[in-house]
């Protein structure tokens, strides 16, 4: 089957499966009692992970799909930080013990627009309420355009071990079309600043499918940034969802590459990174073999969470900040999204949760199947069904959905073992979707798979 037919058949609007069920299946819930129960029920000896969301940027990139807004001055940031510090105390109070933490992740938005003193103060609060001494990875998302020497020092002082830098593209013409001017030298300077303070684990985010972007631009960017030797890169396809993110209307739709162009950019970008010594991981990550994510993938420990791929072993991720999503053994919890509403809840002394989703036994089973496919591109259904207490035939309806993909060479099905092939890898999300029991009504709201 030729490439065009594959794209028309499998480049569907499906979720990225950073959770299952996805956030579209979370439901609004009144009161914070259920979340207090979840937090209070975390076993004493369990190591947990923390996610802190900082939803501010200095300027809006027009492609941006994150929960963020532009902060023109310091007032909204300071007010947010005061609420975040209060939320840390509230959550710790609901837990009732000083839990050990294995991972801390700051995302956004742009956490690095916090001043060095503010970053240090929030971290001090975290350390007071949680035992950070056992934290093996402390990661921060950073914008190379605004990362100062002072902040690099504050990150190092707080024990940050990994920084993820947004690069996207080095093409000047594309940068102008997305409102993000960022020459190579600025990226190199940020890398130099971080390495000088001893932060050597660096990730870069790259994108394809941007307006005016050509395959050659994706390859040139991949090759140039590989020269800076980050330990890990992500290559994300631009998700154009202007009905959810109105600022994306500033992107000229006629300049977006078509489905065939996006597919070519993904393959060419991936090949360029692999030629430069990076191993492909899951759907969109690339890492040096010595990187912790590559090691986790090789050892079958790779997992998927709201930050994408991770080697975080903890079943508990506590989300802090407006819109932050947390994960518990029993399900998911999402904080209030609108910043003023989130602040109001916090200052009223309530845990600022707005939505939750408990997991049924079938959700847990399907979620694990989808996670295995998204991480290792292979899943053996029978032992999983057995472990979850289901008969071997329970997912045969989903297997039947994959018959067409098997015929087209995207997957190999041996009994009830599924392996995604090299032809199938770019369509991984569409393949995983065969196991999604909720997809049909939600499908049209997602971005394309490739
Ligand atoms: C929170 S930002 C990274 C840190 C910092 N704010 C920056 O941009 O430099 C997270 C990443 O998500 C990716 N991203 C944002 N919007 C996207 C979209 N609409 N489609 C695909 N990827 C997107 C970008 O690669 C971006 O670097
Ligand atoms: S991509 Fe990063 S810097 Fe740009 S608007 Fe989104 S969060 Fe902010």
CA 100 to ligand 1 center in whole angstroms:
30
Question: What is the pLDDT, as a whole number, of residue 2?
Answer: 82
Domain boundary among 307, 327, 358: 358
- Judge if 262 and 401 occupy the same domain: no
The tokens describing 337, both together, are 């999204």
CB 107 near ligand 2, within 6 Å: no
Q: What is the residue-averaged pLDDT of the chain?
A: 95
Q: Say whether pLDDT at 441 is over 50.
A: no
- Judge if 217 and 333 occupy the same domain: yes
Yes or no: say if 316 and 95 are a contact pair by the CB < 8 Å rule.
Answer: no
CA 55 to ligand 2 center in whole angstroms:
9
Q: How many domains does the chain have?
A: 2
Cα-Cα end-to-end distance for the chain: 17
Residue 362 CA to residue 14 CA, distance in Å, equals 20
- Greatest Cα pair distance, the chain, in angstroms, is 60
The pTM of the whole model exceeds 0.85: yes
Residue 122 CA to residue 86 CA, distance in Å, equals 10
Residue 56 CA to residue 168 CA, distance in Å, equals 18
Q: Say whether pLDDT at 23 is over 80.
A: yes
9 is a domain residue = no
Residue 405, φ and ψ in degrees, nearest 5 = -65, -35
- Judge if 339 and 372 occupy the same domain: no
Could you give the dihedral angle defined by the CA atoms of residues 435, 438, 440 and 443, in that order, rounded to the nearest 10 degrees? -90
Pocket test for ligand 1, best of 54, 60, 63 (most atoms within 8 A of CB): 63
- Judge if 353 and 397 occupy the same domain: no
DSSP state of 359: P
Question: What is the pLDDT, as a whole number, of residue 445?
Answer: 58
Domain boundary among 300, 326, 358: 358
Domain boundary among 358, 384, 409: 358
List Cα–Cα distances, 254 to 63, 257, 318, in angstroms. Answer: 14, 8, 41
Among the bound ligands, the one closest to the CA of 163: 1
- Judge if 88 and 237 occupy the same domain: yes
List Cα–Cα distances, 426 to 363, 388, 449, in angstroms. Answer: 25, 29, 8
Q: Say whether pLDDT at 167 is over 80.
A: yes
Question: What is the pLDDT, as a whole number, of residue 77?
Answer: 98
pLDDT tens figures, 204-252: 999 999 999 999 999 999 999 999 999 999 999 999 999 999 999 999 9
Among the bound ligands, the one closest to the CA of 61: 2
CA 88 to ligand 2 center in whole angstroms:
24
DSSP state of 250: G
Closest by CA to 174, choosing from 215, 120, 121, is 215
CA 72 to ligand 1 center in whole angstroms:
20
351 is a domain residue = yes
The tokens describing 215, both together, are 């395959």
Question: Any residues with CB less than 8 A from the CB of 139 and at least 6 apart, and which?
Answer: 103, 104, 105, 106, 160, 161, 162, 163, 164
| Closest Cα to atom 2 of ligand 2 | 109
CA 64 to ligand 2 center in whole angstroms:
6
Question: What is the pLDDT, as a whole number, of residue 192?
Answer: 98
CB 367 near ligand 2, within 6 Å: no
pLDDT tens figures, 314-329: 999 999 999 999 999 8
CB 141 near ligand 2, within 6 Å: no
Among the bound ligands, the one closest to the CA of 65: 1
Q: Say whether pLDDT at 374 is over 70.
A: yes
**pLDDT confidence band for 3 (50 / 70 / 90):** confident
What is the average per-residue pLDDT within 377-398?
A: 97
Closest by CA to 316, choosing from 12, 25, 47, 16, is 47
SS3 at position 78: helix
CA 201 to ligand 1 center in whole angstroms:
19
Closest by CA to 399, choosing from 382, 386, 423, 422, is 382
Q: Can you give the residue range of the structural domain that contains 434?
A: 361-445
CB 64 near ligand 2, within 6 Å: yes
Report the nearest atom of ligand 2 relative to the CA of 68. Answer: 7
pLDDT tens figures, 251-266: 999 999 999 999 999 9
91 is a domain residue = yes
Residue 409 CA to residue 373 CA, distance in Å, equals 16
């Amino acid at each position: 089957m030729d490439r065009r037919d594959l794209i028309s058949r499998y480049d569907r609007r499906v979720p990225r499966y950073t959770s299952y069920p996805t956030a579209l299946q979370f439901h609004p819930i009144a009161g914070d009692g259920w979340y207090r129960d979840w937090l209070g029920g975390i076993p004493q000896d369990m190591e947990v992970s923390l996610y802190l969301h900082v939803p501010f940027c200095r300027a809006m990139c027009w492609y941006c799909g994150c929960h963020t807004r532009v902060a023109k001055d310091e007032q909204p940031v300071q007010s947010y930080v005061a609420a975040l510090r209060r939320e840390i105390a509230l959550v710790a109070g609901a837990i009732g013990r000083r839990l050990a933490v294995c991972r801390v992740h700051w995302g956004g938005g742009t956490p690095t627009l916090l001043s060095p003193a503010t970053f240090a103060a929030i971290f001090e609060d975290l350390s007071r309420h949680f035992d950070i001494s056992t934290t093996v990875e402390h990661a921060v998302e950073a914008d190379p355009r605004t990362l100062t020497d002072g902040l690099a020092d504050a990150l190092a002082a707080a024990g940050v071990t990994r920084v993820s830098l947004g690069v996207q593209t080095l093409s000047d013409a594309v940068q102008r079309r997305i409102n993000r001017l960022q020459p190579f030298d600025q990226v190199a300077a940020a890398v130099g600043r971080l390495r000088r303070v001893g932060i050597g684990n660096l990730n870069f985010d790259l994108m394809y499918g941007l307006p005016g972007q050509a395959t050659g631009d994706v390859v040139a960017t991949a090759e140039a940034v590989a020269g800076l030797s980050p330990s890990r890169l992500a290559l994300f396809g631009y998700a154009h969802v202007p009905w959810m993110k109105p600022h994306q209307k500033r992107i000229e739709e006629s300049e977006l590459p078509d489905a065939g162009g996006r597919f070519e950019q993904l393959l060419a970008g991936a090949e360029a990174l692999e030629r430069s010594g990076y191993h492909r991981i899951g759907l969109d990550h690339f890492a040096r073999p010595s990187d912790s994510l590559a090691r986790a993938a090789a050892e079958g420990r790779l997992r998927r969470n709201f930050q994408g791929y991770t080697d975080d072993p903890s079943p508990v991720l506590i989300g802090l900040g407006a819109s932050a999503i947390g994960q518990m053994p029993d399900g998911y919890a999402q904080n209030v999204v609108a910043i003023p509403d989130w602040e109001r809840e916090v200052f009223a002394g309530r845990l600022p949760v707005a939505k939750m989703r408990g997991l049924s036994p079938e959700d847990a089973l399907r979620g694990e199947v989808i996670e295995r496919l998204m991480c290792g591109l292979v899943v053996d259904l029978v032992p999983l069904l057995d472990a979850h207490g289901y008969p071997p035939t329970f997912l045969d309806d989903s297997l039947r959905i994959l018959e067409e993909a098997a015929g087209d060479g995207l997957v190999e099905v041996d009994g009830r073992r599924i392996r995604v092939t090299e032809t199938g890898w770019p369509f991984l999300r569409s393949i995983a979707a065969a196991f999604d029991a909720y997809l049909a009504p939600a499908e049209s709201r997602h971005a394309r798979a490739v």
